[in-house]
Structure 1
Amino acid sequence: MIDFKQYDNAVAKYHTDLNIKTTPISSWNFHHSLVQELRNAFVDANTIAQLGITFKWQEDIWDLKSTNSDEVIIVTDANLSIVFASQNITKMNGYKPEEVIGQRPTMFQGKSTSAVVSRQIGQAIQMRQPFEKTVVNYKKNGDTYICMIKGYPIFNDKGELCHFIAFEIAA
């Protein structure tokens, strides 16, 4: 019969010397939140890609899968009616995407929003030009937040303006 005493002692010493750190169950929620954010970003990117295909956008120059997870994406039609809002809009201002669909982006503005900046954004939109502005916006609960917006016109394959896309992040 083979003597495993030396082997058993080595295994026992190995397990005794291990410094095993357990992961608390509370970290599972963090992991779940991260996975949910990644899933939402993936679904949002695919939805926007589908919009591009449906409306025959000229080009797809945005790498939406690598955008900052805090960056909210809003797509409006040519008349500035919101047709898409990314899932993370709720984290930024308390609105759910379905609450803003059909509204205009001015719904986020209020008394403290600069009329000058709003006019400048409006002029860029009228001229079908990209813009980058910082504006005071309002959350659903009425609190204000500083929002950095990068907006771009989108043209279809016939060269006609069909949408605008904005990448927004709370500053």
Structure 2
Amino acid sequence: MKYDLAEMNSLDIYLSSLTNEEYDKIKHKIGTRKSKPMPLLSWDIYMDGYHKRMTEARKRIELEKVLSFAIQFNWQNDLEIAFSENDYEALIITDKNQKIIWVNDGFTSMTGYSKSFALNKTPRFLQGEKTSLRTKASIKSKIELDKPFKEVIINHRKDKSMYKCEVKIIPLYYKETTHFIALEKQVV
């Protein structure tokens, strides 16, 4: 270990550079450690667990936000089931006219657009030249049916790069549909 630089601490490097005489002069000033630090051999296991806990916490906060909208607008949907049954990266809530009233942080990560930019726009601003007209027509007709559905669409980020997005759209209702929520994730 003495000359293995990858395993040496700063003091080890300094001490290894001393002659025997120089070391003998200062060794009484060097204390011993009460504990020896151990290298973290399970960093990957720790990070997986940490990432999982952070994702669960973020999703709990997002569910609470959506449930606060549910109270405000008297939605009758069981949103907890919708969240537990669907994986997502981005959330978008629109009104009946498809104007965005709220997006989560995942929306910004996925698209590059800020929350404030997205507000009061329709999600169509994410579509571009590579977005299929057939897919756009399919989404429009399924929205008019007022039933949950899933579709894959090619969207465009702020930097103009394309991505395939799986969109699960759920009508939110109080007697009739008042809003929509889209649970979105990027797919290959």
Do Structure 1 and Structure 2 share a fold, with TM-score over 0.5? yes
Give the whole-Å Cα distance in 1 for the aligned partners of 2:103 and 2:160. 19
Q: Rg bigger for which structure?
A: 2
Change (3 A) 1:91 1:30: farther
| Residue of 160, 170, 173 corresponding to 1:152 | 170
**More relative contact order in 1 or in 2 (CA 8 Å, sep 6+)?**
1
CA-CA distance at 1:87 after TM superposition: 1.0
**C-alpha displacement of 1:161:** 1.1
Q: Which runs of 5+ in 1 are unaligned?
A: 1-14, 24-28
Q: Residues 32 and 118 (structure 1 numbering): CA distance in 2 closer, same or farther, change over 3 Å?
A: same
Superposed CA RMSD in Å reads 3.2
Q: Which residue matches 1:12?
A: none
2:71 is the alignment partner of 1:76: no
Is 1:49 aligned to residue 64 of structure 2? no
Deviation (angstroms), 1:160? 1.5
Relative to the length of structure 1, the TM-score reads: 0.74
Change (3 A) 1:38 1:104: same
Give unmatched runs, 5+ long, in structure 2.
1-34, 42-46
Q: Deviations over 1:31-90 (max 9, x none)?
A: 99877655543332211110000000012233437864x521111100100111111112
C-alpha distance in 1, partners of 2:121/2:97? 11
Map of 1:61 onto structure 2: 79
Secondary structure in 2 aligned to 1:88?
A: helix
CA–CA distance in 2 between the matches of 1:140 and 1:33?
A: 27
TM-aligned CA distance change 1:94 to 1:38, over 3 Å: farther
Query: What TM-score comes out, normalization by structure 2 length?
Result: 0.68
Kindly provide the amino acid, as one letter, of the partner of residue 41 in structure 1.
K
Aligned partner of 2:138 in structure 1 is: 120
Residues 138 and 21 of structure 1: is their aligned pair in 2 closer, same or farther, counting only changes over 3 Å?
same
1:170 maps to what in 2?
186
Bigger fraction of residues in helix: 2
1:161 to 170, 174, 177: 177
